[in-house]
Amino acid sequence: MPKVSIFTVLFFLIGLTQVCFANVSLSVNPVDGSNSLRFEKMPSAGAENKEEIHIRVSSTNGSRYQVFQRILEPIMNEKGDTLNLQAMETQTLSNSNSYGTLYLQNSDHLSMSDQLLYSSSQSGESDMFTIGYSLNQNLINTAGRFRGRLVFTVRGMGNASSDQVTIDVFLETSSSMKVSVKGAHHPSRIRIKGSDTSEKTADYVTLSFSGNEAQEIRIYQEVETMPQNETDQELGANVLQLDAEGQTEGLRIQGLSSLGTKRSLIYSSNKGEDNFVIYFLVNADQVQRQDAGIYTGKIKYVVETDHGKQEFPIGIQCHIPSVFSISVTPPPGGVSFTHVLAISPPQDKEVMVTVLSNLHKPYQVLQDLQTNMTNQQGKEFNSKYFTIQVVIPSGQKGQTNLTEFSPVQTGEYPVFSSDSMGSGATFTVVYRLQGYAQMSAGSFLAPVRFSLNQK
């Protein structure tokens, strides 16, 4: 067999040399009892694609020596494609030696250059140790039947003694599944603004895979750290929303969904390749109630098959802008009183006022009436019969002095005051108009303005 002849020739040549000056010799034996390093095409579920080699050094001169490894012949398939060396990892096994010092105890990849594995003690005793090799399926760049060759070398330190042993490497790979999870503008981060309420402006993550061999592929989303601001306050559960889009039946989320804290399945299928995107949006109503600030967190996408899983972390940065706004909703037709007669019952018109604030500072809502209501002839409507009341819903924070109907005053004055935390509020301003005897005829007008001021 080719391997047997290689070992025989090498040992024979080295043996002849040792008669003259060699004082160290090397023995290299795979743990599985074979004479080569072989990797399965596809290991069983949950098993590592890992092999080990025992290396023994015999020393007779009491001098120090070192053991190295390197790739002697590139690991190539039948098409001449070279294996990505990053895919084959190597590491010596801690405490597998007796005397000297083991190197390469942290995993590294194979190299065409010498890699120091072991250095003997000062007295150069004979010793043995174990080195392991494993395949990272995610880094295999091409498929096929690969063959290469490793060479192990022992060299005396300060003398010419040396020995070498070569060993064949065999591995067979299928089309390696490639998975990509990337942010649209930054590969590992998503940035969300308070104005990102539609897909037109929102940032998103693109997820794609190829080379799947008819096995079920499942993609999960997990929140590792819920977005928090500089005071460790978490983003509200419903502030961020997700919307998945793609021409695929594999999606397991449909329409808008809130960013939950639990692991959730977002995709599953047996397709060979597929792709989709996930948009990150803000809930327009909820974001205005969230404290202003920059919230940072982290999620991850976990891609699972029967042969293992891959994880892709994505950072989240959400900027919540300051909100301090007031909206006034008049009744249909506006605040208009028609057919006012002295003998008619009073008429009420309700105006809804909503204040949104995430500044945590107290505020007031002011009403400004510059003049009493007058008609075209300049006649005033008696303010005694034009009254105002403010109704705050039960459980609503804030207060008002206008709990009973009171004449509408001219000038600017507060109609509502917030609590000490400046909580948002919604309340109703009720205007009541009552006809009276001797009132002038005509259409009476008065502009009313609402404003929002911090205390």
Quote the pLDDT of residue 47.
45
pLDDT in tens, 112-144: 999 999 999 999 999 999 999 998 877 776 777
pLDDT tops 80 at residue 171? yes
Quote the pLDDT of residue 108.
93
pLDDT tops 90 at residue 376? no
Q: With cut-offs at 50, 70 and 90, classify the pLDDT of residue 175.
A: low
* Residues counted in the chain: 455
Quote the pLDDT of residue 281.
95
Quote the pLDDT of residue 21.
46
Q: Which helix (DSSP H) or strand (DSSP E) does residue 183 occupy?
A: strand 178-183
Q: With cut-offs at 50, 70 and 90, classify the pLDDT of residue 145.
A: confident
Quote the pLDDT of residue 17.
34
Mean pLDDT of the 169-195 span = 88
Structure tokens at 87: 């895919």
pLDDT tops 50 at residue 44? no
CB contact at 8 A, 128 and 106:
no
- The total of other beta-carbon atoms located within 10 Å of residue 3's CB is 13
List strand residue ranges (DSSP E) for 24-104, in order. 24-30, 36-39, 50-59, 65-76, 88-92, 101-102
Q: With cut-offs at 50, 70 and 90, classify the pLDDT of residue 14.
A: very low
pLDDT tops 70 at residue 174? no
Q: What is the DSSP string of 390-450?
A: EEPPTT---B-S-SS-EEPPSEEEEEEE--TT---EEEEEEEEE---TTPPPS--B--EEE
Quote the pLDDT of residue 367.
95
Q: Which helix (DSSP H) or strand (DSSP E) does residue 302 occupy?
A: strand 293-305
State whether residue 320 is helix, strand or coil: strand
Q: With cut-offs at 50, 70 and 90, classify the pLDDT of residue 399.
A: very high
CA atoms within a 13 Å half-sphere pointing along the CA-CB vector of 442: 14
pLDDT tops 90 at residue 12? no
Quote the pLDDT of residue 176.
65
Task: Report which of 3, 49, 62 is spatially closest to residue 28, judged by C-alpha positions.
Answer: 3
CB contact at 8 A, 276 and 207:
yes
State how far the alpha carbon of 92 is from the alpha carbons of 32, 299, 317, in Å.
Answer: 17, 35, 41
Mean pLDDT of the 23-36 span = 92
- Strand 162-173 relative to strand 36-39, pairing: parallel
CB contact at 8 A, 450 and 328:
yes
Quote the pLDDT of residue 5.
29
pLDDT in tens, 302-360: 999 877 788 999 999 999 999 899 999 999 888 888 888 888 899 899 999 999 998 88
Q: With cut-offs at 50, 70 and 90, classify the pLDDT of residue 80.
A: confident
Structure tokens at 143: 């498929």
